[in-house]
Copies of this chain bind each other. A is one copy, B any other.
Amino acid sequence: MTLALDAAAQDLLFREARTANTFTDEPVSDEQVQAIYDLVKYAPTSMNQQPLRVVLVRSPEARQRLVQHLGDGNKAKTAAAPLVAILAADNEFHEELPALFPHFPQAKDAFFSERPAREASAAFNGALQVGYFIIGVRAAGLAAGPMTGYDAEGINKEFFGDGEHSVLAVVNIGKPGEDAWYPRSPRLEYDEVVTTV
């Protein structure tokens, strides 16, 4: 056995987990989201930056405001999902950095005084955290339906009026419903991805 992770956990997180397009009516509670966050928050980011911010879209009015900015193929399933989360990068994450990276408090000014540097770092580390979050949803026994087909500028203006956040993904969350997924598309083989020098 080459992996330390038990086979059931491998299946839950990776092998049997699938991107869901339909869900049952079972609600997703704040307690479940908190359990997901309190697990995946420990995964690493550069200099412990943690730029990910999450907006849970619960009210019917907010759901409608979100759906209008989605690509047509994403509208109906997002309107019907038990819970929808907007995952965004906080481009002003550096304000928390002296508290989050206390052994090098100069990092805030040394690396992140310019907005383009902050945006690039927030985009990369925020995307890492999107990956962790998707794994966390699966760890909760739920299915994630992550999407990137939307008008990003529209979502940023609609939900982050401060101009300081950039949407990274919108994720439907719930128990998978009927015909929840397509047949799995092929994955690249090890030899197509990994080389040795």
A interface with B by C-beta (< 8 Å): 2-6, 8-10, 12-15, 17, 19, 30-44, 46, 48, 50, 52-59, 62, 96, 99-103, 123-125, 127-132, 134-135, 138-141, 144, 146, 148, 159, 168, 182, 184-188, 190, 193-197
Contact = CB atoms under 8 A, between A and B. Distances in A.
Identical chains in the assembly:
2
Given A100-B185, A124-B123, A159 B4 contact: no
Nearest to A41: B187
A10 B39 contact: yes
Contacts of A30: 196
A58 B196 contact: yes
A130 B43 CA distance: 12
A64 to B, nearest CB: 11
Nearest to A48: B185
B5 A12 contact: yes
Contacts of A138: 5
Contacts of A127: 123-125, 127-128, 131
Contacts of A50: 187-188, 193
A46 B148 contact: yes
A135 B134 contact: no
Nearest to A43: B14
Given A5-B139, A31-B2, A140-B2, A195 B43 contact: no
